[in-house]
């Protein structure tokens, strides 16, 4: 298992907050993290530090792509998808990535950077087709209704989002000719909650005898509760601002809200980290990337170890200098590096 290296980006003077000192020699997101301090809520953050935190990192990437929206059939009603296809002529069928945004199983959409910008970036880098899936979302933890989807149902819990994802994979393969892809070169990937769904779909489809070409899991949710961190992970988490953490109570509430029943009843199709070695043994090549300043990296590392022990071809990497959700930061150097690796893996299918 390897870890990527990243260049040392010097602090950007134009973003430096007056009166708020930051250590030099840090990566850019790391520098901004240091300005937030150790306050408990966003309301307590220095306003200028908050402005710096939210400032863009750079312009969006531009790729020559044909982008089309569809509503495909699913067991709970139509599933919206967005298909990204390189405009340049292809020598033959292209590889394909079915991509799932994150959002705690409650938020996110096809337009968020983690959905749209990543889909564009991977399609362009890999000369591949990307099918981005707008799976159904759960209600808020406080009971507020989630974003409505065509066809319902009124309340969403597991396995409904996973059903949507598996329906999207089936549609993608069945539409291989129209999409210009090789159905044997279809991978699945996702970020955060989408990473959980990607891993779960890979597991369920493998159990059904429909093996995907690869899984790309970016800072994924893998377990209902975080395993214990090692010393290096603990040191990084101690430097992470509290409002960016995933403490036990947050994970418990999010995971319970997703499955809609006690966590003791969770299955590997809910959280793949619960699977046995025998269940994991049938999975395809898997890439897991964790963020340095992120509680979820502990579960990602643990899941990588589980896969390795099961004999799966797995690569685990820690993206240094970033916190959870770095793919949502357009223009961030480390986000480009993550998409570089994703694009390389998809191109190699």
User: With b meaning 16 or more CB within 10 Å and e meaning fewer, what string describes 293-303?
Assistant: bbbbbbbbbbb
Q: What span, in angstroms and rounded, lies between the C-alpha atoms of 35 and 33?
A: 5
pLDDT for res 25: 61
Catalytic residue among 101, 132, 163, 192: 192
Q: What is the mean pLDDT of residues 185-199?
A: 98
- pLDDT tens digits, 106-123: 999 999 999 999 999 999
pLDDT for res 152: 81
pLDDT for res 26: 84
**Residue 294 known to be catalytic:** yes
**Residue 340 known to be catalytic:** no
Closest C-alpha to 99, from 173, 182, 185, 168: 168
User: With b meaning 16 or more CB within 10 Å and e meaning fewer, what string describes 11-32?
Assistant: beeebebeeeebeeebbbbbbb
Catalytic residue among 116, 294, 326, 338: 294
List the structure tokens of 51: 């402005």
| Cβ pair 99, 131 in contact under 8 A | yes
Q: What span, in angstroms and rounded, lies between the C-alpha atoms of 8 and 196?
A: 31
- pLDDT tens digits, 133-155: 999 999 999 999 999 998 889 89
Peptide linkage before 157 cis (omega within 30 of 0): no
Helix (H/G/I), strand (E/B), else coil: 82: strand
φ/ψ bin of 34: left (φ > 0), alpha (ψ from -120 to 50), beta (otherwise): alpha
**Residue 324 known to be catalytic:** yes
Helix (H/G/I), strand (E/B), else coil: 86: strand
Mean pLDDT value across the chain? 93
Q: What is the mean pLDDT of residues 29-41?
A: 94
Q: Above 70 in pLDDT, residue 23?
A: no
Alpha carbon of 315 to those of 5, 318, 345: distances in Å? Answer: 14, 10, 11
Q: What is the mean pLDDT of residues 160-165?
A: 98
Catalytic residue among 101, 117, 324, 326: 324
pLDDT for res 161: 98
DSSP state at residue 327? G
Give the H/E segment covering residue 68: strand 65-72
Taking the complete model, does pTM exceed 0.95, yes or no? no
DSSP states along 270-288: T-GGG--HHHHTT--EEEE
């Amino acid at each position: 298992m390897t870890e990527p290296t990243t260049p040392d980006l010097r602090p950007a003077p134009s973003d430096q907050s007056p009166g708020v000192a930051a250590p030099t020699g840090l990566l850019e997101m790391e520098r901004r993290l240091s300005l937030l301090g150790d306050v408990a809520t966003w309301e307590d953050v220095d306003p200028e530090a908050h402005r710096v935190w939210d400032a863009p990192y750079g312009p969006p990437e531009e790729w020559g792509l044909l982008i089309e929206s569809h509503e495909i059939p699913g067991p709970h009603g139509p599933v919206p998808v967005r298909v990204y296809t390189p405009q340049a002529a292809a020598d033959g069928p292209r590889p394909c990535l079915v991509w799932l945004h994150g959002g705690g199983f409650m938020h996110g959409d096809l337009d968020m950077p983690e959905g749209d910008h990543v889909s564009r970036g991977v399609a362009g880098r890999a000369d591949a087709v990307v099918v981005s899936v707008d799976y159904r979302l759960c209600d808020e933890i406080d009971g507020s209704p989630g974003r409505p989807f065509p066809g319902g149902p009124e309340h969403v819990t597991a396995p409904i989002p996973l059903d949507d994802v598996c329906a999207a994979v089936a549609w993608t393969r069945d539409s291989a000719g129209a999409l210009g892809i090789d159905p044997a070169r279809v991978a699945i990937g996702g970020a955060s909650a989408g990473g959980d769904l990607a891993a779960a779909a890979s597991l369920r489809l493998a159990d059904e005898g429909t093996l995907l070409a690869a899984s790309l899991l970016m800072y994924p949710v893998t377990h209902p509760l975080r395993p214990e961190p090692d010393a290096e992970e603990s040191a990084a988490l101690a430097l992470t601002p509290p409002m960016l953490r995933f403490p036990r109570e947050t994970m418990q509430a999010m995971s319970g809200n997703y499955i809609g029943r006690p966590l003791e009843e969770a299955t590997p199709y809910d959280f793949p980290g619960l699977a046995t070695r025998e269940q994991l043994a049938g999975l395809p090549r898997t890439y897991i990337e964790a963020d340095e300043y992120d509680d979820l990296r502990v579960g990602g590392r643990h899941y990588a170890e589980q896969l390795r022990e099961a004999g799966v071809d797995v690569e685990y990497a820690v993206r240094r200098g970033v916190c959870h959700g770095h793919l949502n930061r357009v223009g961030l150097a480390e986000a480009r590096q993550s998409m570089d690796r994703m694009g390389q893996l998809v191109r190699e299918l």
